[in-house]
Chains A and B, each alone.
Chain A
Amino acid sequence: MSENKLNIKAEAKNLNFFYANGTKALKNVSLPVYENKITALIGPSGCGKSTFLRCFNRMHDLYPGNRYEGQILLHPDNTNVLGKGVDPIEVRMRISMVFQKPNPFPKSIYENVAYGLRVRGERSKSAVDDKVEEALKGASLWNEVKSRLQDLAFNLSGGQQQRLCIARALATDPEIMLFDEPTSALDPIATVNIEELMSGLKNKLSILVVTHNMQQAARISDYTAYMYLGEMIEFDATDKIFTNPSRKETEDYITGKFG
């Protein structure tokens, strides 16, 4: 094990989150996200894992009245993602996201991947071309679509659409990629493709993934965090969590006695 080379890419510190209606959805949550590792968030429905994930790219800012307390520090520059002076758009430029259901734009395959670059004002056609190809290769979709880049993204299958969304998130060279149950809308074969893809991606960036599928967490993640009712119950190496958890609640959930 190369434990000594482990760097923290981001860490949540004593994070509380309140929805506009006053619900406290996260209670004093802390979590490190290690560089070039996959960290999985597991827990029963409604435990706050998606809410937590969406704090990392300030997605909650899109809806009025939501409120954060605490910090999410992004290293190496120590920027507090949740800081009042930090623009959520700047955060989203550094931390990209893949959603539960594939959500390509009703545009061409090419334009979907290029969109992040357009937003960043990239004008050079050859530069965008290169980046689109690189991102599609990174999302192992290039061979399937290289001959029809101008086709509508909706004509792809569900699994291909999700890989297209990964390519879109990849094209802007993010430091962290957030995955919100990325395979829950997909069939088993597409799921395997996405999982293999994620395992390959961690060489380039750090990954935080929400999953309700424990086997998936066990298969792909290096670290696992178990959340329940808005609290972080346990965080540890995935092997440890699934073989020898230190908390009774975690063990009950892992073994299926609960949840």
Chain B
Amino acid sequence: MVKDKMDSEFSLIKPKTLNEVRAMIRKHKRNDFIFSSIGLLTIIFALLTLLILFVDLVMDGYPKLNYEFFTDFPSRRAAHAGILSAWVGSSLIMLVTFITAVPMGVAAGVYLEEYAPKNWFTDIIEINVTNLSGVPSIIYGLLALGLFVYTFHLGQTIVTAGLTLGLLMLPIVIVSTREAIRSIPIAIREAAYAVGATKWQVVLHHVIQYSFGGILTGIIIGMARALGETAPIITVGALTFIAFLPPAPISSSAPFISFEWLHSGFTVLPIQMFSWLSRPEHAFHINAAAAGVVIILLTLLMNGTAIWLRYRIRKNIKW
């Protein structure tokens, strides 16, 4: 009786013959092939577009990519114009951005992940931080113009630009710090607490050390993004033609270290590029292409470093 019932239930699914099974597998494999082909084509298309843009830029800018290009100030004559003030400006601003955004971002990320209680207030903070990383950068520029330039009277200076890009980078650092911390297994924390560690010891000896690779990656990617930003920098008042360098931070006579450079006017690489591009003469477009190559190479270098560092640091950590 029971056997009859089972037979009738099984008969709903007819057993396949070997040939039918083979046909089915062939069909499934065809789907496999179709999907991987589409994926490959998409990737090739994306990479090719990028490559063509880059090659085009290199071919245009190649004649200008020499030593003088990096040591000349901008000039009315295209042949003598260089990016000295732009790369110095970019570097100094990145320095300010790094010094402000990294400690604050890492500390905020560690606090939110390790110390903050889970309640509606921290939920709101969390949603806000995530949203901030998606806010258009021009909004940061407007905020900085109102806050740093008009309220704090920091002027249209390197420190203002650095702080503005720092604001822009802050949510990226916070989010990547939190993600890196979250990937540490609970078992590791419990192991540390179980031998009598305090929360701070767990954070210092374990959490920060094991999430360092992820945090560093976030920092570098955030810096690479800040490097290419133009809109907020224009908003806070970058100059487009600047034929002097900020005062040197280190001097040979007392007091040796000077912070005058923070209050200097500035320009940055993307703005220099934009200003050349908006001129009618073709010779300046070559300069713009060369500056573009420099920006892209810098960004590639930074992202490459991030990937390499992550690989190096995570090699020793297997969860």
Contacts and interface: CB of A to CB of B under 8 A. Distances in A.
B118 interface: yes
Contact of B195 (A62, A90, A101, A172): A172
Interface residues of B, number: 22
A168 B193 CA distance: 12
A105 B195 contact: no
B196 A105 contact: no
B100 to A, nearest CB: 31
B190 A106 contact: no
B192 A115 contact: yes
Given A106-B317, A106-B318, A154-B318, A59 B190 contact: yes
Interface string A116-129: 10111000000000
Contacts of B276: none
A106 B195 CA distance: 16
B316 A152 contact: yes
A168 B192 contact: no
Given A92-B195, A169-B195, A105 B190 contact: no
Interface in B190-227: 190-198, 201, 205-206, 210
Given A106-B318, A154-B318, A92 B190 contact: no
B318 A116 contact: no
A119 B191 contact: no
A64 interface: yes
Contact of A96 (B185, B195, B317): B195
B204 to A, nearest CB: 11
Interface in A80-112: 89-90, 92-93, 96-97, 99, 101, 103-106
Contacts of A106: 188, 210, 316-318
A57 interface: yes
B196 A116 contact: yes
A165 interface: yes
B194 A105 contact: no
Contact of A103 (B118, B190, B198, B317): B190
A93 B201 CA distance: 14
B63 interface: no
Given A99-B190, A105-B191, A120 B196 contact: yes
Nearest to B187: A103
B117 interface: yes
> Which of B189, B197, B318 has the most chain A CB within a 10 Å cutoff?
B197
Contacts of A101: 187
B205 A165 contact: no
A59 B65 CA distance: 62
Contact of B196 (A59, A64, A89, A154): A89
Contacts of A92: 193-196
Nearest to B184: A106
Interface string B299-319: 000000000000000001110
B190 A119 contact: no
15 contacts: A59-B190, A59-B193, A62-B193, A92-B194, A93-B196, A96-B195, A101-B187, A103-B187, A105-B188, A106-B188, A106-B318, A115-B205, A154-B318, A168-B191, A168-B195
Interface of A: 57, 59, 62, 64, 89-90, 92-93, 96-97, 99, 101, 103-106, 115-116, 118-120, 152, 154, 165, 168-169, 172
Given A89-B198, A119-B196, A154-B316, 17 more contacts: A59-B190, A89-B197, A90-B196, A97-B194, A99-B194, A103-B185, A103-B191, A105-B191, A106-B210, A106-B317, A115-B197, A115-B205, A119-B195, A119-B197, A119-B198, A154-B318, A168-B195
Pairs of residues from A and B, 3 with the lowest C-beta to C-beta distance, nearest first:
A116-B195, A103-B187, A93-B196
